[in-house]
Amino acid sequence: MNCFTVKTTDNNSRARRGTLSTAHGDVQTPTFMPVGTRGSVKGLTPQHLRNTRSEMILANAYHLMLRPGAEAVRGLGGLHSLMAWDGPILTDSGGYQVFSLSTLNRVGEDGVEFASHVDGARIYLDAETAIRAQNALGADVIMCFDECTPYPCEPDRLEKAVQRTIRWARKCKAVHASDRQLLFAIVQGGVNRDLRARCAEELVAMDFDGYAIGGLSVGEGHDLMVATVEHTAPLLPADRPRYLMGVGMPADIIAAVRAGVDMFDCVLPTRNGRNAFAFTADGALRLRNTAHADDTAPVEIDCPCYCCANFSRGTIRHLFNVGEMLGPILLSIHNITYYQRLMADIRRHIEAGDFEPWAAQAIARLQAQSGNCRL
């Protein structure tokens, strides 16, 4: 089914403003999804997330398969009940764990054998297992099982990963058994344009509900990432949502929207928040620094979030220095709010018709700001 409507496009770029329709409601795009890997966005309640204006969140099927188990989640009323979240949810299939837990797995032609990072138990994950688990979890958008590769990657390994990703996507589509869940395929190929084009062509021919660009933000850097997205996004159907997986630096998001991407997720807002790092329009703040000890200003003056409305930088620094859990909670709330305000600005500028000049200025400003945001 066609789950995506493009409302308007930017005249000077490929940016578009749209709506993704799911079984649990509509999502305004471009959108950013906070990450709740194990069924919870770390440190935040669903009400916190709603207050940040988040519309859709992400969970990971691999981790939920290990604990508490997909059938256990189904028995608890499904993922929405488990997370107490009545909005849309997307689950990743576990394909990224093929990459991130590479020291614990063995990749075969049909699937991957893991040593559980929890207790070392042997686990076999393939296309059928990944889809049946996601069907049981009940997310609104589920992902095909794929193989993500590192950067740099040997040509032969990259070629084989693309072949497996295409073959596994075909199996995923055949196994998928819920018409209430949208199934997205994932385009792989590293930074190799020919492999990206071949993978996209094969997957588009299978007619999925949406398409993701995977295998980026794994060390290739901003310029190569943007060039790969600019090459790949136009190869995907204009009437389907496009999702750039795991990419979350603000400058990267704006550049990808300019290339035609609609959906994003990343752990950066919450991970950095737990490390006393705040995103602001004026640049990064490291709240453990002594400079903030007597600072009575909020994290960001014009931010409407609960953190900025009630706490000073000096207070937040104190909370981190004495190990109070409220510090990470407050900065996670602020950082996700920052991201949702960024997405609202992106949507507004696309609608106003001035996205391209705004994006160029925003990217230049973000890249000039000091501080490495990847903690």
Active site (catalytic) residues: 92, 265
Q: Are 303 and 339 in contact (CB under 8 A)?
A: no
Helix crossing, 326-352 with 313-321: angle to 10°? 140
Among 368, 347, 358, 305, CA closest to 7: 347
Which residue pairs from 201-205 have beta carbons closer than 8 angstroms and sit at least 24 positions apart in sequence? 201/235, 202/166, 202/169, 203/166, 203/169, 204/235, 204/236, 204/237
Among 170, 167, 153, 150, CA closest to 214: 150
Q: Are 112 and 125 in contact (CB under 8 A)?
A: yes
Q: Are 29 and 241 in contact (CB under 8 A)?
A: yes
CA atoms of 1 and 209, how far apart (whole Å)? 7
Give CA 57 to chain center in angstroms.
Answer: 9
